[in-house]
Chains A and B, each alone.
Chain A
């Protein structure tokens, strides 16, 4: 298991946290820690999450799956600054 630290910006829409968390469980991703705090002007929240992935999995795939969620505005792997998935 390798830990990856992800940072997300999400819209404050009903169910957004549930959708993110369910994605982790249905994609077999272990959540080691998670925080959810207001960001921006009240319309966004920031999610900081540390996930555990099997050695052969990269965070890239997971970030793309997270970015696919409608209310996820931004996902980044904090440790590898280059890996950023941005959604309009």
Chain B
């Protein structure tokens, strides 16, 4: 006979959990005792539960495994709300284990009681509250299977303290088995017919392709058919950036070629993507001439925002394999490619050096990409630096760009990089963060320093909440209300000294000629986390841009420069 807490640790070991990111507290204390003894599970002691949740997400995104975070009841559990919402939006498989007050006092407003299962109802795929310690192995096995199966997502397991200490006999669980959903042959046939008659097809690739491990299958299908590819923010790396058929990222800050391809397409082959408003712009004006094949593992995504002519319910890897073996003919795409090539030649991604002579943030990111290379993992916060990280890092493999796409969570980059580094210790991990975002979760650098997790952080320090400032510049007549962080003017905080205080190496770079040297210096540090304060100009803007509330045809390649797709595409 053991106790519930021991059963929990054994159950987590049985599902091959190798690391838990967490913080103890009263209502989860019984679990930390047998955890102390586990030789299979590493516990990383975080500094904030939000960090624990984002670390679990980063770990899951980098490895494809289920990430696990743990917290006590009440405030510990409520601190997990943001990462759970993030994991829900971006379909990341994580399991959050929370302590709960003892069953007899549930509902009495006991000390540190919060009804976390109810609080997280709309942002979890499922939740379990354990009422019998004998159920623990089965609940854990199911929680892992639910998190990873079908469309992945976050699962909460809430365990009252008395259940953790109750005596129980451990019995092996029988985990439910999820099969990769296979598409119906009729749907595949219908898709193949549309593909055969299309003259301007585009593969519109979303994060589902990465989640299902379908990148090799995508490459095979794309090369077989010669169809152009665009990769959304969540799908950067699903198709090599160096590939001739890749037009880049679509959406609000996408390339002109990717946006133009969608707008002028006669057939979208949408894979594991959800027609998010940041991609479509005004829905009524999105890809007006296109028929749509939409493949997704979640039937509820099909026809949600855009009606599909052919909906295929299935795992992207299986769907792509089926399409590859079924596809017979593809139309002649030479005219289409000539138009797209002209578009990408006329409107390549690019930026000007700031007129005031300050360092260009895009240049910094371009150089980090060139020096750290495509085998590194990059995470980003949310803001201008995130968009530049999506645009100017060259991704060649899936799982190499991690960011909070759906929820847009500032503070994601550092803890997600921590989690990614734990999951992939042999890869270099760079968090490309903003000066605003970094101030939300940099405390996890103490965790990195003490636990031996040597990540690298590039703070793209533009002194401002830059993305908000960009909107104020464009839409509020340059009235910069509450966006100056004074990290330039007053140097509060001093990021170099802050890094040092957190046990990291702190470096600073303020001019273009120093960028390579400082990045290489950061790369030479192998046993400590490094923070580089890149002091960049505050006036750089993210281009291209489709302003919110407008259609994709209104894309601006840069201020005052609007490509006219109708003139560029003669039909």
Contact = CB atoms under 8 A, between A and B. Distances in A.
Nearest to A69: B126
B126 A61 contact: no
A68 interface: yes
A68 B151 CA distance: 10
Contact of B300 (A18, A19, A26, A61): A61
A22 interface: yes
Interface stretch (B92-100, B117-125, B232-240): B117-125
A26 B85 CA distance: 13
A60 B308 CA distance: 14
A48 to B, nearest CB: 21
Interface in B301-319: 303-304
Contacts of A14: 129, 131
A23 to B, nearest CB: 8
Interface string B434-474: 00000000000000000000000000000000000000000
A44 to B, nearest CB: 18
B299 A64 contact: yes
Interface string A55-88: 0000011001101111000000000000001000
Contacts, number: 31
Contacts of B530: none
Range of interface residues on B (Cβ < 8 Å): 10 to 19
Interface in A5-22: 14-15, 18-19, 22
Given A14-B129, A68-B298, A70-B146, A19 B121 contact: yes
Contacts of B122: 22-23, 26
Contact of B303 (A15, A19, A60): A60
A60 B125 CA distance: 20
Contacts of B125: 70
Contacts of A23: 122
A35 B122 CA distance: 21
Interface of A: 14-15, 18-19, 22-23, 26, 60-61, 64-65, 67-70, 85
8 residue pairs, one from A and one from B, having the closest CB atoms: A64-B300, A26-B122, A22-B121, A65-B300, A70-B126, A64-B299, A22-B122, A68-B300
